[in-house]
Amino acid sequence: MSDTQAPAIDIQDLHGRYGPSHVLHGINLRVGSGQVVTMLGRNGAGKSTTMRAITGLLASRSGSIKIAGTEAIGLTPEKIAHLGVAYCPEERGIFPSLSVSENLMLPPVLRPGGLTTQEVLAFFPRLAERGRSPGTTLSGGEQQMLAIARILRTGCRTLLFDEPTEGLAPVIVQQIGSVFEALKQRGYTILLVEQNLDFIMSLADHHYVIEHGRVVDQMSNDELSAQPERLEAYLGV
């Protein structure tokens, strides 16, 4: 990351609540422009909640979230999307009554520089085959592919993926790995929540470990590759 360029995401002392329960307790996390960064940790640690805070979907949040230098803590989800942030949630959010291509074309192109529909379908040939099928008839894995594919067209340069490889066949996981690799080559910024360590270690620059709503450790990918056992204490492998 160069000194002159603001980080794509810069989070300081982020607190978040669901109703009365306080789930994020002062998260500090930074994603440099063009980096691939992961959040690791057990289920329920606050990784998805952090993503929901970044996108503005978590109503009760305080602290600071800067997107490319712009303070976004008080912005609506639409305004945050216009800062160039796209989000692929774990629950996929496929519209069941729309066809595959309607789901794919639904998110608007917010800025130039996204992948073309042809490029997206070249990454996911299965979606081209199922183009006219309604969302309800897709398998779980096909829905996951569609949820990932859908945000690549928008031109957003900061992409948030919550467990993108969940439910996907190993061969598709590898394809997604090469999609992410290609996005990285083009200078996209990616923040990932992912359980598949093989997948992230071949891709990511930096890792944050989240526990009970706090960052409890962080390491570069080189450090993790040299000492994979450092994660065991947190993940209980």
Partner 1 sequence: MIVPDPSQGDWIIEARGLSRRFAGFMAVKEVDFRVRRGHIHAMIGPNGAGKTTCFNLLTKTIETSGGTIWFNGKDITQMAPAQVAQMGMVRSFQISAIFTTLTVRDNVRVALQRARGTSFKFWRSDRMLDELNERASGLLEDVGLADEADMVAGDLSYGRKRALEIATTLALDPELLLLDEPTSGMGLEDVALTSALIKRVARNRTVLMVEHNLGVVAHLADRITVLAGGTVLTEGNYAEVSSDARVQEAYIGRKKAKA
Residues that bind partner 1 (CB under 8 A): 41-44, 90, 126, 130, 133-134, 137-142, 144-145, 163, 166-174, 195, 197, 235-237
Cα-trace Rg, the chain:
17
Shortest spacing between CB 81 and partner 1, in angstroms? 25
Question: How far from the centroid of its chain's Cα atoms is residue 145's Cα?
Answer: 14
Shortest spacing between CB 125 and partner 1, in angstroms? 11
In the three-class reduction of DSSP (H, G, I as helix; E, B as strand; rest coil), residue 91 is classed as coil
CB atoms within 10 A of CB 200: 22
**Residue with Cβ nearer partner 1 (3 or 237):** 237
**CB distance 38 to 194 below 8 Å:** yes
Q: Where are the alpha helices (DSSP H) in the chain?
A: 47-54, 77-82, 100-105, 117-123, 125-129, 140-152, 170-185, 197-201, 221-226, 232-235
**Residue with Cβ nearer partner 1 (46 or 84):** 46
Distance CA 85, CA 222 (A): 27
Shortest spacing between CB 188 and partner 1, in angstroms? 23
Shortest spacing between CB 5 and partner 1, in angstroms? 34
Shortest spacing between CB 45 and partner 1, in angstroms? 9
Shortest spacing between CB 129 and partner 1, in angstroms? 8
**Residue with Cβ nearer partner 1 (44 or 74):** 44
**Residue with Cβ nearer partner 1 (68 or 168):** 168
**Residue with Cβ nearer partner 1 (34 or 177):** 177
**Residue with Cβ nearer partner 1 (66 or 92):** 92
Q: Are strands 158-162 and 189-193 parallel, antiparallel or unpaired?
A: parallel
Q: Which residue has the tokens 């794919």?
A: 104
